[in-house]
Amino acid sequence: MLFLWLYMFYSCAGSCAGLTTRGSPAPPRAAPPLLPGEPGEESSLEEQRAAPDAGSPISSFFNGSGTKWLPQAIIIGVKKGGTRALLEFLRVHPDVRAVGAEPHFFDRNYERGLAWYRDLMPRTLEGQITMEKTPSYFVTKEAPARISSMSKGTKLIVVVRDPVTRAISDYTQTLSKKPDIPTFESLTFKNRTTGLIDTSWSAIQIGIYAKHLENWLLHFPIGQILFVSGERLISDPAGELGRVQDFLGLKRIITDKHFYFNKTKGFPCLKKAEGSSKPHCLGKTKGRTHPDIDQEVVQRLRDFYRPFNMKFYQMTGQDFGWD
């Protein structure tokens, strides 16, 4: 009987290779280039299925159900904008499968190749979306071309936040690791007397969103990028998640019933996390108390960012109300 079963299994392997577990054609996915570094030469879906760990019936049987795909959607930024919260909220959706850690493929590990990148991805079933998030992609000059080379159809999500608040939050994170760093005020200016802002400091530079977005628009249409408000992600998480689910083509499953507001932390938490029946809040590294910053410095930063914010509003068609 065992030999008969094995014979039927291997006989089906060839004829059933193009089918998913539901017996219908697999949805189109981003296929890796035939050779890394040669954009435009993409392998067919059949070639990707035949590649190692591509989810053939035999490998799926022995390694667990589902297939590893390159991501169809990526949260590309921004640092300290709320990307971790968004990813954790999205992972509640049964049709979203995401990498927990930040792969940093398109900024730090690109030379490892797409096969290495795909191997980091979770297995998905038909109809599920593969995602990852690495906030530093948004400010990495090479990232847009590299992601476009992987797949021009990749959906991009950017979580943005008041750039002044974001800069202070960025500094607060660094301060928690390096208590002896200079003050925020001293790092903000090249010359405080003249009020010249030091745009080479990453905490300041990241918040010039319009400048970074220009680089992405050379490779992706604006309609392929969703801009999520970090402020509204706190005040109305279900509303922002509704927009994200629509953008990803998902059924609106994540709603108000999934959240409660944690007064101690000052932001919303999940009533039930992915794969758990218990409430879940982001860790102690999120929601740190910001140091008191000289209000004159805060105002100078607001004046500095204002024209860039106005341009960003025009480019995205959204007023984020930061001023």
Alpha carbon distance 84, 90 (integer Å): 10
Alpha carbon distance 311, 210 (integer Å): 6
Ordered structural domains, the chain, with CATH: 67-163+208-289 (3.40.50.300)
What number of CA atoms fall less than 13 Å from residue 9's CA on the CB side? 13
- The pLDDT assigned to 116 comes to 98
Which residues are CB-neighbours of 41 under 8 A, at least 6 positions away? Answer: 33, 34, 35
Residue 72 pLDDT exceeds 80: yes
pLDDT tens-digit profile of 129-161? 999 999 999 999 999 999 999 999 999 999 999
Q: Is the dihedral of CA 208, 210, 214, 219 positive or negative?
A: positive
192 is in an annotated binding site: no
- The pLDDT assigned to 241 comes to 97
Which residues are CB-neighbours of 25 under 8 A, at least 6 positions away? Answer: 18, 19
- The pLDDT assigned to 274 comes to 60
Pairwise pLDDT comparison (191 vs 34), residue with the higher score: 191
Q: Is the dihedral of CA 105, 214, 71, 40 positive or negative?
A: negative
Q: Stretch 290-319: mean pLDDT, rounded?
A: 96
Phi (first) and psi of residue 132, to 5 degrees: -150, 165
Q: Tell me, yes or no, if 80 is annotated catalytic.
A: yes
- The DSSP secondary-structure symbol of 250 reads -
Residue 31 token pair: 């296929």
Mean pLDDT of the chain: 82
pLDDT-above-70 percentage for the chain: 75
Alpha carbon distance 83, 72 (integer Å): 17
Q: In this structure, are residues 260 and 271 in contact, taking their beta carbons and an 8 Å threshold?
A: yes
Residue 106 token pair: 């398109």
84 is in an annotated binding site: yes
77 is in an annotated binding site: no
pLDDT tens-digit profile of 237-275? 999 999 999 999 999 999 989 998 887 767 789 987 666
Alpha carbon distance 307, 252 (integer Å): 36
287 is in an annotated binding site: yes
Residue 191 token pair: 């010359």
Which residues are CB-neighbours of 143 under 8 A, at least 6 positions away? Answer: 76, 106, 107, 137
pLDDT tens-digit profile of 26-62? 344 444 333 333 333 233 333 333 333 333 333 333 3
- Out of 3-7, 38-42, 129-133, 283-287, least confident range: 38-42
202 is in an annotated binding site: no
- The pLDDT assigned to 8 comes to 46
Residue 283 pLDDT exceeds 80: no
Residue 20 pLDDT exceeds 50: no
Considering the candidates 68, 79, 80, 133, report the single residue annotated as catalytic: 80
pLDDT-above-90 percentage for the chain: 67
Q: Stretch 4-23: mean pLDDT, rounded?
A: 40
pTM of the model: 0.78
- Out of 33-37, 100-104, 194-198, 242-246, least confident range: 33-37
Give the alpha-carbon dihedral of 38, 40, 46, 47, to 10 degrees.
-10
Phi (first) and psi of residue 234, to 5 degrees: -90, -45
Phi (first) and psi of residue 262, to 5 degrees: -90, 110
Segments of the chain assigned E as strands: 67-68, 73-77, 96-98, 123-124, 129-133, 155-160, 189-191, 196-197, 225-229, 259-262, 267-270
Residue 23 pLDDT exceeds 50: no
Pairwise pLDDT comparison (173 vs 62), residue with the higher score: 173
317 is in an annotated binding site: no
